[in-house]
Amino acid sequence: MQTSTASRQRRDRQLLVALLKRLHFTVGLFVGPFLLIAALSGIAYALTPQLESWLYHDALTSDSRGTPATLARQIEAAQDAAGITANPAAVRPASGPGATTRVMFSAPGNGPSEHRALFIDPVTLAIHGDMTVYGTSGALPLRTAIDQFHRGLLLGDVGRLYSELAASWLWLIALGGALLWWQRRRATRASASNQPLRRRHATLGMAALAGLLFFSATGLTWSQYAGGNIAELRHAWGWGTPSVSTALGATPAVPSQDAHAAHHAAEPAAADQTFHLAPAAFDRAYDAARAAGIDAAKIEMVPPTTAHQAWKIREIGREWPTQVDQVALDPVSFAVTDRADFATFPLAAKLTRWGIDLHMGVLFGVANQVVLIAFAGSLATLICWGYLMWWRRRPAAPARSAFQPQTLTSIYRSLSGRTRLTLLIVAVALGVALPVMGASLVVFVAVDWLRWRAGGNARTAQTA
């Protein structure tokens, strides 16, 4: 009895390796193009800081030297140039000599998190630029376009399914490849030497494993469906990112379920068209925030949009060391009504912040960009090598009709009942947690089942 059980377990292990190998091939074949697009567009995104500095140099910098004008005068200059009398949606004072001030307005036709930004010389009050910016990261048009392509192929929410599909399967492909490498590690040198491309593929995959898992995990937090599940889980476990409350009378910092403020800022509350701030209030708010400890060079000032709302002034420095402290200020007394300091964030919130900034390539500057490009380039190379291996080993046409093809269905049916049930439970759990993975797995299995049936019918007909 024990011998029979051990034999069945050994056979199941062998079949599970075959199933994993087949799944690795199937997912790589069909999801590979989406992963390749994500990798190449990710490389382009990693290069955008230098591209933006070069392309928008005139808007971002100024040759003027001298005493900067007050924020009030800079805002008035922007309002006059834009022909706008409404309050700015946000203001980013010049971070130092040679930099311009960014005054942002809500404008008709702008998408979510988009603003019309005017770049003001803080000394001469000259207008250096007028363009649309995106999110708390302040992405300019080039980076916005690359970002939107990377996340959704410029197709909106429908296009985001592609990036979620890629992120959902990447971790499983990477771990599956690592397990297959581990299973083959005892292969003889002679047999390994006959497959140099596979050996290079496996070696590069193991070298890039940590980076691929990181890309998958952080990419899923941005996704449309799995990202929502992750946000709810973080909120339930108290891992939300603290954020100040701007509602007057409500002082506790509230955890935010959206940790990607640097990537796509939440839309500000709808402005009361009758509520108007004097431009001089920006100078008072700036001084009060500095006195309250907001000391980063890069800050963003979000004015209240109603009489019952506080100012929100936040640091936007994502580099190391991270500077993302926030304060809320009373619009009359400019006293601090709430604050959220990064030093007091829970560890999970800090790790989330750092993970997002690493994924975006901003945490460690150029070094971060180089590492991202190396990992994304490795992923693109692995995909191309995988397709090359498939092309070289694809069966000849006559062989397809001579034998029943190896399929996920045929391997799964050969497993013991307990193992099949365990795999089914795991697949359902993953499908619920990662809905796009679950839906695509149903498609893969359906196509595989049809192929298995067709192979069985062809074999029966040939035998007859």
- Tell whether the model's pLDDT for residue 405 goes beyond 70: no
Q: What angle, rounded to 10 degrees, do the helices at 226-236 and 435-463 form?
A: 130
194 close to 187: Cβ distance less than 8 angstroms: no
Mean pLDDT of 353-371: 94
398 pLDDT higher than 70: no
Q: Is the pLDDT of residue 337 over 50?
A: yes
Is residue 434 pLDDT above 70, yes or no? yes
**In the predicted model, is pLDDT for residue 462 greater than 80?**
no
Least confident among 180-184, 226-230, 400-404? 400-404
Q: What is the pLDDT of residues 217-249, one digit of tens each?
A: 999 998 989 988 888 888 888 778 889 999 986
> What's the pLDDT tens digit per position in 41-68?
999 999 999 999 999 999 999 999 899 9
Place of tokens 């299973």: 183
* Closest among 167, 163, 136, 137 to 148, alpha carbons compared: 163
The pLDDT mean for the chain works out to 87
Query: Domain limits of the chain?
Result: 2-47+151-224+366-463, 240-360
Question: What pLDDT was estimated at residue 299?
Answer: 96
> How many C-beta neighbours within 10 Å does residue 450 have?
12
pLDDT of the residue at 393: 80
Sheet of 311-315, strand order: 127-134, 114-120, 101-105, 90-92, 299-302, 311-315, 326-329, 336-340
Name, in order, each residue with C-beta under 8 angstroms of 164's C-beta and a sequence gap of 6 or more. 220, 223, 224, 225, 226, 227, 436
pLDDT attached to residue 92? 97
Alpha-carbon dihedral sign for residues 69, 311, 313, 60:
negative
Q: Is the pLDDT confidence value at 396 over 80?
A: no
CA distance 278 to 75: 10
The mean per-residue pLDDT over the stretch 166-179 comes to 95
Q: What percent of the chain has pLDDT over 70?
A: 87
Residue 7: band (very low, low, confident or very high) from pLDDT cuts 50, 70, 90? confident
Which 3-state string (H, E, C) describes the chain?
Answer: CHHHHHHHHHHHHHHHHHHHHHHHHHHHHHHHHHHHHHHHHHHHHHCHHHHHHHHCHHHHECCCCCCCCCHHHHHHHHHHHHCCCCCCCEEECCCCCCECEEEEECCCCCCCCEEEEEEECCCCCCEEEEEEEECCCCECHHHHHHHHHHHHCCCHHHHHHHHHHHHHHHHHHHHHHHHHHHHHCCCCHHHHHCCHHHHHHHHHHHHCHHHHHHHHHHHHHHCCCHHHHHHHHHHHCCCCEEECCCECCCCCCEEECCCCCCCCCCCCCCCCCCCCCCCHHHHHHHHHHHHCCCCCCCEEEECCCCCCECEEEEECECCCCCECCEEEECCCCCCEEEEECHHHCCHHHHHHHHHHHHHHCCCCCHHHHHHHHHHHHHHHHHHHHHHHHHHHHCCCHHHHHHCCCCCHHHHHHHCCHHHHHHHHHHHHHHHHHCHHHHHHHHHHHHHHHHHHHHHHHHHHHHHC
Highest mean pLDDT among 150-154, 404-408, 450-454: 150-154
Q: What does the pLDDT read at residue 315?
A: 96
Q: What does the pLDDT look like over 272-293, one tens digit per residue?
A: 555 788 999 999 999 999 999 9
State both tokens at 370.
């180089």
Residue of 114, 56, 112, 123 whose CA lies nearest to 90? 114
Q: Is the pLDDT of residue 37 over 90?
A: yes
Quote the pLDDT of residue 451.
87
Neighbours of 316 (CB within 10 A): 20
C-alpha span between 348 and 343 (Å, rounded): 12
CB atoms within 10 A of CB 100: 27
Reported confidence tier of residue 309, pLDDT bands at 50, 70, 90 = very high
Look at 48-52, 231-235, 367-371, 385-389 and tell me which has the smallest mean pLDDT: 231-235
Among 240, 219, 256, CA closest to 136: 256
Given a contact cutoff of 8 angstroms between Cβ atoms, the answer to whether 110 and 139 are in contact is no
Whole-number pLDDT of residue 297 = 94
